[in-house]
Structure 1
Amino acid sequence: MLGTAEALDIFVVSLRDGFVQVSAFVAVTVLLFSYLQYRTGGRMIEFLENNERLQPIAGGLLGLTPGCGGAIIAMPLYIRGTISFGTVVATLAATAGDSAFVILALAPEAAVYAYGLALLSGILFGYAIDIWGLGVGRIDSAVEKASGPITDGGFATASVADGAPSVPPTDSAACDHDVTTRENRVMTTLSHAVHVAWWGVTLAGLAAGIEYLRRGAPEVAVSFEPTFSGLFTVAGLLGTTLSVYLYLVGRRYIGESDTGRIRESFADAYSTFRHAAMETSMVTVWVIAAYLLYEYGVVIFAVDIGALAAAAGILAPIGGALLGLIPGCAPQIVFAGVYANGGIPFSALTANAISQDGDALFPLMAIDMKAAIIATIYTTVPALVVGIGLHYVWPYADFGFGVIG
């Protein structure tokens, strides 16, 4: 039975780890792509709109960037109607998530092969969906029947199988300017101050996260002393607190109330930073929810990810692919650590790398749940194909951890 002290400890650690292990890295990648969008005046979006045949490739490359920032940028483009559903699947299949940082740090050679296969399979499967459909219509109908009419903002869902989002495409003109929904000088000033402080805490969290990976992703004690553990704890808890404020309150006062929507361009560098902070704050709220569900679930149901994935034979890649159905990066980070310690075969790591959608699924879930469900189902298909194929074709792939198939 889960005791009060243990439940509180899980709560605190989840709030801390979610920000340092995930959000700090997401913030940097989202800011990078937002800044490129700002410097190019929105030409990145124009390129995708004018080159439909290249979209799955572009989506795969966005997803391949370590962390989830590139893939997070792609999801609103689908809601907008800029990219195809096949591109969404290609992006999510190629997404390495935040577990990529663990593998890159501890097993870089394995990362090259696993994420290279994820990129290739994602692009090919994305094109196949756009060209032939591959039964998306049946999954679309099944999700509709199982869940009932899913709505968003009062609009009934459309058909994902037709390549369109399940919610009406957003009006780009409405998304290209800041909308302050409430006018209050005190709250506006406070929210801008919190935004600036958020970036300071994020930099501290990023430093702690990099050091955490450099040390081999160890267990970090909850501490408030002037040590690495103290920096990790304070940055994590404070960063999550500020993120929750920005997402639930601050965004309504500083002109970013419409999170999860793409922007054509930005007026200045400050608005670019602000947009990245708001998008990351939204992801943080979803990430923390996923961390809590995962951590409490593991304790309550006594789930051992390593034992599940290390099952004999072909069950290993199947387990890795099915684990990828869980949104977020928490279980995937644990999974990557198990691989680094020699606990699972390379086929399972690769299947998980393809199947997992990382935190990029959260913006899509927040706006178009139906499309998110269908997309995560479809990224599991190439994961199973490639993972099982590796099990039979390359059973003894070994990248220095004594791992065999």
Structure 2
Amino acid sequence: MVTLIRSLPIQQLGKRWRLANKRFLFPVLLLVLLATPFSREITINVLADAFWQVAAYVAATLTIYHVISARMNQHGLLRTQLQHSRRFQVVFSAAMGALPGCGGAIIVMTQFVRSQLSFGSVVAVLTATMGDAAFLLLAAKPATGLLIVSVGFFVGLISGWLVDTIHGADFMRPAVTQETESSCCQQTSSQYNKTVRWQGMFWQWLLIPSVVFAVLGSLQVDTDVFFHLPEHTTAILGAGLALLAMTLWSFSRDVQGYQDVVSEDPKPETTTLFQRVAQDTNFVTTWVIGAFLCFELFMTLTQWDLQHIFAGWGILMPLLGVLVGLIPGCGPQILVTSLFLQGAIPLSAQLGNAISNDGDALFPAIALAPKAALVATFYSSLPAILAGYAYYWMFE
């Protein structure tokens, strides 16, 4: 081995050991925290909670979602209706945006570029979508998640109809060449690698056991006692599985830019059901772990009460939620939702963020139609501010 390394050219050796996969810093940092006595207990608890309370439910929700989505894609029943009714285009787009994840919003953006949908449809889908943060909120607080998703749908619907009425269906429609569209739609194939198969196998085998443990935990059942396990076994097991899921995610894609860190991994058509489930679940889990750890370590080190601190900001909170929502990618939005679940920020901020954020759909939107993406993002931020402050004044 040493001889082989010595025989390599300096350029090849440097390239081989180049830190291209910066994602691997996440599990490395976790191992450091686990090895440090001060942070070990906090890290184990955060990892266990993230796996049992979030990842298991997100994986189950995603499995149902992808099964339904695959069956719907087998039939072209909506195409005729979409071609003959501009108002129905907006309804369809708002519904696609209301679906958890970013797939529906990305579909609407590509159809807009192909002149199949109106600009109001783009505003509707970007307003209605909450991205991957919806999976986290629905898993942790189903009633609140359904409320916010429903509000997003109706706000997106009204916004899309208003925009089409004011500007017309062809407003901001770009002239995109076949080469541009093809390069955008096919860029995901080069990113796919064999580690995605391991991610799929991970959740294929662990989905049902994980959901069983998660449901028992939600019902306040001590799973260690229930299954006659040594004390703390469930927490240690959950921490280990969360660390493994994050490690598999870290090896699935090289980091070459901001988008590679904050967005879902691309999914070629060859990916299986559980590979798709695993890619999104592990992405959400990684960001949830990061958010929870930052929150817990910050609270432990400073002894500050973030809920009390943010309460002093009062009227600024909905605006801050909206501003964070303007940042492309699902990662920052998962951070906001995590803070909401921890009780650090109010529902008005979460609502404003949910309506203003465009999730991962903003990346193909910028690539395919940058001017339309910018204008649509601006339009989606206006109802977000209205909704966030309306809830703030009425209920907070």
Q: Scaled by the length of structure 2, what TM-score is found?
A: 0.59
Cα deviation digits, residues 49-105 of structure 1 (max 9, x gap): 53553233233334434xx33x4343244235465554344334334512243333x
Deviation digits for residues 233-289 of structure 1 (CA, Å, limit 9, x no counterpart): 23322222233344569xxxxxxxx963686xx8xxxx5415624xx5267448736
1:128 to 127, 150, 162: 162
C-alpha distance 347-246 of structure 1, shift in aligned 2 (>3 A): closer
What corresponds to 1:38 in structure 2? 70
Query: Which amino acid in 1 is paired with 2:279?
Result: S
Spell out, residue by residue over 1:215-246, the C-alpha distance to the aligned partner (whole angstroms, 9 max, x if none). Answer: 6xxxxxxxx97644234323322222233344
Name the CA distance, whole Å, in 1 between partners of 2:293 and 2:337.
13
Q: Aligned equivalents of 2:117 and 2:213: distance in 1?
A: 36
1:72 pairs, out of 103, 111, 128, with: 103
Return the letter of the residue paired with 1:53: R
1:199, distance to aligned residue in structure 2 (A): 2.3
Compared CA separation, residues 73 and 117, structure 1 to 2 (3 A): closer
Could you say which residue in structure 2 is the equivalent of 1:197? 202
Report the counterpart of residue 221 of structure 1 in structure 2. Answer: none
Structure 1 pair 288/37, CA: closer, same or farther in 2 (3 Å)?
closer
> Which ranges in structure 2 are unaligned for 5 or more consecutive residues?
1-31, 221-229, 256-263
Q: Distance in 1 between matches of 2:322 and 2:206?
A: 35
Residue 139 of structure 2: aligned partner: 101
State yes or no: 1:235 paired with 2:236.
Answer: no
Assess if the C-alpha contact under 8 Å between 1:63 and 1:93 holds in 2.
yes
* Contact preservation (8 Å) 2:94, 2:156: yes
Superposed counterparts of 1:261-300, under 5 Å: 272-273=272-273, 276-277=276-277, 280-281=278-279, 284-285=282-283, 288=286, 292=290, 299=298
Tell me which amino acid in the other structure corresponds to 2:380.
T
- Inter-partner Cα distance in structure 2 for 1:164 and 1:16: 49
CA distance in 2, matches of 1:83, 1:119: 17
Quick one: distance in 2 between partners of 1:335 and 1:365? 25
The alignment yields a C-alpha RMSD, in angstroms, of 5.2
Q: Which residue of 1 aligns with 2:318?
A: 317
**1:333-360: per-residue Cα shift (whole Å, max 9, x none)?**
3214428xxx74x544533442345xxx
2: CA distance, partners of 1:48 / 1:284: 36
Residue 58 (structure 1) aligns with: 92
CA distance in structure 1 between the partners assigned to 2:280 and 2:105 by the alignment: 15
Cα separation, partners in 2 of 1:42 and 1:291, compared to 1, 3 Å = farther
Quote the offset at 1:382 in angstroms.
Answer: 1.0
Q: Is the 8 A contact 1:198 1:239 kept in 2?
A: no
Structure 2 Cα separation of the partners of residues 259 and 42 of structure 1: 26
Secondary structure at the aligned position of 1:338 is classed as coil
**Contact 1:89–1:126 (CA under 8 A) maintained in structure 2:** yes
Tell me the distance in 1 between the aligned counterparts of 2:306 and 2:50.
18
1:131-170 matches, cutoff 5 A: 131-132=165-166, 161-162=172-173, 168-170=180-182
CA distance, structure 1, for counterparts of residue 373 and residue 209 of structure 2 = 32
Q: Is the 8 A contact 1:321 1:356 kept in 2?
A: yes
Of Structure 1 and Structure 2, the greater helix share is in 2
The residue aligned with 2:26 is none
Distance 2:191 2:322 in 1: 42
1:7 deviates by 8.3
Q: Structure 1, unaligned stretches of length 5 or more?
A: 135-159, 216-223, 250-257, 398-404
Q: Distance in 2 between matches of 1:365 and 1:33?
A: 22
Greater C-alpha radius of gyration: 2
Q: Is the 8 A contact 1:209 1:232 kept in 2?
A: no
8 A Cα contact 1:19 1:240, kept in partner: no
Task: Sort the Cα spacing of 1:245 and 1:114 in 2 relative to 1 into closer, same or farther, 3 A.
Answer: closer
Equivalent-residue separation in structure 2 for 1:44 and 1:248 (angstroms): 38
Distance 1:77 1:18 in 2: 32
- In structure 2, C-alpha distance between the alignment counterparts of 1:181 and 1:318, rounded to whole Å: 36
